[in-house]
């Protein structure tokens, strides 16, 4: 008999928190007030990573997180009393002094510098669900498209794409260098099915698959039936709509009309690519990112708990729930898609980038 989720008590459990071993079914369930201790650590990590990504440019704009903590109780009670500007400036100055010279990547250090009142307010933010509003909204790397008709330096352009968050493309051979026979014409449709799944989980996880690789892998396999059960599709429409249907039938994937619309748009922009001369670059980047995620999951499963770095132990999931053989098989498929895209991707992208199915809103 399947276990029922401890937190929401309504859906069959999908994951297990490695910190407290409590069962949960989705990100929403993971954020439950009853799971405050672990979810609080998760948001502390998210916020500190955002600050760390901004480097040394740590000025008053970065203090907004702490200001939000200080004003949380006032917002909750709708108390909008006038605050003396001098007093407010003193508060900000105090925050700057406490946080100016610390390693913002250290969540423990950040936490230790908050006073008891600030810690209490942060806990209330997490319990109320408002902490997620403080995590910066991810801007998809596939949105960037150069208007230039020429590339003065392809390498410099690729470096800029990397800085913009585009995954690094892994080295791969062309498909004809790996197999002698021509690939099935159905491969191009299967590519659609996987890309829909990838764009959706990227949006679902706010663009960061590194800390939740196991859960992201599970969700990708749920959306892409080609990866999950080797289903082949006879048309782009069939491949796209099958993936969308899988999103709708799995409640833990938290589907919404807006998310589906953004997913379709994400696939379309992935096919358009960053430049007219590099049409398949984003497709290669997407498959490279999936390959890296699968490798993280497999490497994590092969390590003993004692040998894993602390960062891996903080993942809010239990990777052991994944079928190792299925992940390995899916990895082989992704490597095949990479080789296929390396050879045929440019023509594929030019042919399908304006597919009307990718602009529908439902």
**Mean pLDDT along residues 109-132:** 73
**Mean pLDDT along residues 203-225:** 92
Q: Of the segments 147-161, 295-309, 346-360, which one has the largest average pLDDT value?
A: 147-161
Of 4-8, 214-218, 220-224, the range with the lowest mean pLDDT is 4-8
pLDDT reading at 349 higher than 60:
yes
For the chain, the structural domain boundaries read 1-30, 31-134, 141-358
Give 35 or 223, the one with higher predicted confidence: 223
* Positive or negative torsion for Cα 340, 342, 343, 349: positive
CA distance 75 to 133: 14
23-71 pLDDT tens trace: 767 666 766 767 666 666 666 666 555 545 444 444 443 445 555 554 5
pLDDT reading at 79 higher than 70:
no
pLDDT confidence of residue 354? 80
Give 57 or 10, the one with higher predicted confidence: 10
Give 72 or 30, the one with higher predicted confidence: 30
300-333 pLDDT tens trace: 755 544 444 444 444 444 455 678 899 999 999 9
pLDDT reading at 159 higher than 60:
yes
238-284 pLDDT tens trace: 999 999 999 999 988 888 899 999 999 999 999 999 999 999 999 99
pLDDT confidence of residue 224? 97
Please name every residue paired with 209 in a beta bridge, in sequence order, or none if there are none.
none
pLDDT level of residue 109 (50, 70, 90 thresholds): low
pLDDT confidence of residue 14? 58
**Mean pLDDT along residues 117-127:** 76
pLDDT over 90 for what percent of the chain? 44
- The model's pTM is 0.67
Q: Do 338 and 183 touch, CB atoms closer than 8 A?
A: no
């Amino acid at each position: 008999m399947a276990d029922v989720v401890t937190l929401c008590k309504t859906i069959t459990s999908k994951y297990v928190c490695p910190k407290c071993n409590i069962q949960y079914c989705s990100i929403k369930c993971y954020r439950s007030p009853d799971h405050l201790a672990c979810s609080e650590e998760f948001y502390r990590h998210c916020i500190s990573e955002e600050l760390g990504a901004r480097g040394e440019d740590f000025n008053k704009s970065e203090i907004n997180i702490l200001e939000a903590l200080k004003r949380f109780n006032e917002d909750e009670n709708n108390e909008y009393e006038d605050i003396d500007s001098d007093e407010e400036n003193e508060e900000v100055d105090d925050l700057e002094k406490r946080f100016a010279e610390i390693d913002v990547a250290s969540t423990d250090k950040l936490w230790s510098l908050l006073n008891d009142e600030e810690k209490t307010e942060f806990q209330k933010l997490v319990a109320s669900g408002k902490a997620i509003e403080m995590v910066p909204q991810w801007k998809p790397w596939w949105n960037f498209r150069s208007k230039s008709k020429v590339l003065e330096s392809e390498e410099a352009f690729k470096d800029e794409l990397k800085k913009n968050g585009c995954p690094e493309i892994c080295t791969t051979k062309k498909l004809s260098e790996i197999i002698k026979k021509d690939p099935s014409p159905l491969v191009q449709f299967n590519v659609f099915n996987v890309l829909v799944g990838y764009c959706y989980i990227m949006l679902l996880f706010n663009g960061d698959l590194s800390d939740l690789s196991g859960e992201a892998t599970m969700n990708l396999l749920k959306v892409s039936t080609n990866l999950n059960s080797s289903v082949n599709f006879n048309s782009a429409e069939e491949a796209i709509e099958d993936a969308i249907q899988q999103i709708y039938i799995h409640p833990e994937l938290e589907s919404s009309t807006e998310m589906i619309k953004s997913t379709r748009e994400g696939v379309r922009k992935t096919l358009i690519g960053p430049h007219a001369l590099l049409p398949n670059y984003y497709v290669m980047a997407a498959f490279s990112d999936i390959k890296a995620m699968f490798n993280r999951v497999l490497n994590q499963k092969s390590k003993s708990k004692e040998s894993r770095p602390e960062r891996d132990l903080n993942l809010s999931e239990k990777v052991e729930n994944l079928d190792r053989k299925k992940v390995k098989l899916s990895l082989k498929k992704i490597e095949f898609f990479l080789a296929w895209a390396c050879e045929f991707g440019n023509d594929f992208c030019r042919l399908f980038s304006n597919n009307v199915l990718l602009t529908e809103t439902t």
